[in-house]
Structures are given as structure tokens and as C-alpha cells.
Amino acid sequence: MQLAFILYKYFPYGGLQRDFLRIALECQQRGHAIRVYTPIWEGEVPEGFEVVVVPVKALFNHKRNEKLTAWVEADLARRPVDRVIGFNKMPGLDVYYAADGCFEDKAQTLRNPIYRKWGRYKHFADYERAVFAPESKTEILMISEVQQPLFVKHYHTPRQRFHLLPPGITQDRRAPANAGEIRAEFRREFALADDQLLLVQIGSGFKTKGLDRSLKAVAALPRELRQRTRLIAIGQDDPRSFQLQAKALGIAEQVQILKGRSDIPRFLLGADLLIHPAYNENTGTVLLEALVAGLPVLVTDVCGYAHYIRDADAGRVLPSPFEQQRLNHTLADMLADDQRRAFWGRNGLAYADCADLYSMPQKAADVILAERP
């Protein structure tokens, strides 16, 4: 079959983008042709992919999205495909990969009612309805079971159109046999003494991921513990406001903020704890990447994959509503207890051996390529 994939932006380090690439490669491996439509493509193009960089620009994102939809519809009319797979909500999809949560629920619960009178709201509401309305034919690949009831509540989507996928952690995230050597080499490279503790926070979108909360928690550590703790944050985002915050908190010397990079497994093996106090997070793939690397995790319960940390007993999950003081105390407790961190790390490795945390691309491809009535 000829397959068309659509997404609003591709760059190598985003969670949605990495999921898209692995699903598209799985479909290609099964013998199908891949065409990709996107206004922004950063990074290498996989061999055999036809990447169409759609020439649309607009002052506002929702206007750009509408232009993209019209342009792609026109191109598909000239060059038809067998299936259209979207990684953002939009009309005309055969399959939608639900990387984002329910927009309508957020609009009704988190926004001022006047927000729903704006054109931006109408656009995103219409595009979400095009996917989830009862009369839509779009099959929905769900990666977070907590979001499905919200879509059903607002749109009465037939349940048979939902397909809950397992996570899709790549095997290279698992701790290899020489994990100890990699850790030692990493810590030499970053000049980490034996008694120093390394916190990592990984993920693009520092504001949503709660980097401000992490900085406050590091600054609140007891003096002796704070002096031997470093934080490295990695992601595609503007770091300036967080660098200023670290300076204001008096911890600038202990904080590094790095751009997205491809050697994340080294950081997971070299660190002592992953901190992820997100404000909201549909899944949180990095939580499972840490788990399978044997790295303990401190995470807020709003993350879709936080329950895996609880199930595996591989760290601590902070309950809602969020309290900064609770994060501060929990971080201090976890960093101060070497034996407990080792226990959580072993639990994560054991869980990685028996749970299905890896088959998302294969299951997604099964749905995409299934025969339609």
C-alpha cells in the first residue's frame, strides 16, 4: 500500500516524532511505501521515504494548520494513497495516533469561558471533533488509557474505534551488560566525583515538563546534599528563563541545560535519579526509558506512564494536587538513601524483563494495515 503520514513538525528528539518514525519504519519494513507531509522537517530523511515539506506559513498556528490541511487534501486528490495517518488531530484521517490529550476537556476545565469564543479554540475543537465524533471513521491509536474516557465523555466516540497500544521503548534504552563501564566513563567525562549525585530531567518543553519545579526542589535540598548534587536538563527549548531562575536560586553552578541529543542512554546510565515533575503529560516515554536502564524515577501522577513506575516499584509517584514542598522532601529523601535507590533500580530492571514495554510500533502497524470493511 501507499501510506501518507501527516504531522505538524518533525525533529529527531520529540517523543511524538520518534514514535512516528518507528511506526512508519515498521510499515516500510512490511513492504509498504511511505509518504510524509509536514511543514517542518529537521534531520535526516530515512532511505525510501518521500518527505513532502509543505510550503505553508501563517502568523498563527491554527491558520497554518488550516492551510496545511487544504494543501495536503489537494495533493492527495492528485496523488491518492491507500491510508492517511495523522499524528496531530485533523480532518480526513483513516488512523490517528493520539499523542495529545483531550483538547475539549482542557478548554472546559482549565480555561476561562471567554477562551471558547476565540478562533483558535474553534479550530482545535473542530479538528478534534473531526477525529472523535461518532460519525467519523477514524481509527484511534491510544497510548494513554486515562485519556480515552475524556474523549468518550465529550464526543461519545464508539469504543470499538479505540486501540490501546503498549509502550514502545527501544531496546537500546535497556541497560547493557557493560552498563557499569558506560556509567564510569560518563561520570569521568562530566567530572562527577564518586560522592556527587546527578539528577537528569529529559524532554522537550521545559515549562510543561516542570523544570521550574525541579530547580526549586534542588535549591531546597539540605545544604550538604545540595552541594554535591548536579542537575542536567536536556531538551529542545529556550533555556534562558530557567537559567535565570537557577541563578536567582543560587544553584547556577550546579545546573546544565543541554539541547536535544541522541546519546540519552548514556545519561540514564550515568545519573542517580530521573526527575519529571510535569504539569501534564499524556504518556512520558522517558519514564520507561529510565526504568529499563535501572534508573530510579521521581514523577508526578499526571503522567500517563507514571503507573508503570508504581507497578514496578521503581521510584516515587507524587499525588495530585501537586505540592512543591512534597516534591522538595521526596527528592531529598531519595537522594539521601543510596540503598533505596539501588533497590528501585533493580526493580526497574526486573520489570523490564517481564513486561511488554516495547511492541508499540508493531501493534500500531497492525491497526494501520488492517483490512477495512
pLDDT given at position 170: 86
Of 101-115, 297-311, 344-358, give the lowest mean pLDDT range: 101-115
Report the CATH superfamily, name and number, of domain 171-354: Glycogen Phosphorylase B; (3.40.50.2000)
**In the sheet where 229-234 sits, what is the strand order?**
255-258, 229-234, 197-202, 273-276, 297-300, 315-318
Looking at the predicted structure, is the pLDDT value of residue 288 above 80? yes
The per-residue pLDDT for range 23-48, each reduced to its tens digit, is 999 999 999 999 999 999 999 999 99
* Contact (CB, 8 A) for 294 and 345: yes
Domains 2-166+358-369 and 171-354 share a fold: yes
Architecture of 2-166+358-369 per CATH?
Answer: 3-Layer(aba) Sandwich (3.40)
Residue 237, phi then psi, degrees to nearest 5:
-170, 165
Beta carbons within 10 angstroms of residue 128's beta carbon: 22
pLDDT given at position 158: 97
Q: What is the mean pLDDT of residues 351-358?
A: 94
Q: Encode 304-361 in three state secondary structure.
A: CCHHHHHHHCCEEEECCCCCHHHHHHHHHHHHHCHHHHHHHHHHHHHHHHHCCCCCHH
List the chain domain ranges: 2-166+358-369, 171-354
pTM for the full predicted model: 0.86
Looking at the predicted structure, is the pLDDT value of residue 373 above 80? no
pLDDT given at position 263: 93
The per-residue pLDDT for range 168-221, each reduced to its tens digit, is 998 888 999 999 999 999 999 999 999 999 999 999 899 999 999 999 999 999
Looking at the predicted structure, is the pLDDT value of residue 60 above 80? yes
pLDDT given at position 94: 98
By C-alpha distance, which of 63, 72, 61 is closest to 6?
72
Query: Average pLDDT of the chain?
Result: 96
The per-residue pLDDT for range 11-22, each reduced to its tens digit, is 998 889 999 999
pLDDT given at position 172: 81
Q: Which three cell numbers stand for residue 148?
A: 480515552
The per-residue pLDDT for range 118-132, each reduced to its tens digit, is 889 999 999 999 999
pLDDT given at position 14: 86
Confidence of residue 353 (pLDDT cuts 50, 70, 90): very high
Looking at the predicted structure, is the pLDDT value of residue 138 above 80? yes
Q: Which three cell numbers stand for residue 162?
A: 479505540
The per-residue pLDDT for range 223-278, each reduced to its tens digit, is 999 999 999 999 989 999 999 999 999 999 999 999 999 899 999 999 999 999 99
pLDDT given at position 145: 82
pLDDT given at position 173: 87
Distance CA(271)–CA(264), nearest Å, equals: 11
Looking at the predicted structure, is the pLDDT value of residue 144 above 90? no
Confidence of residue 113 (pLDDT cuts 50, 70, 90): confident
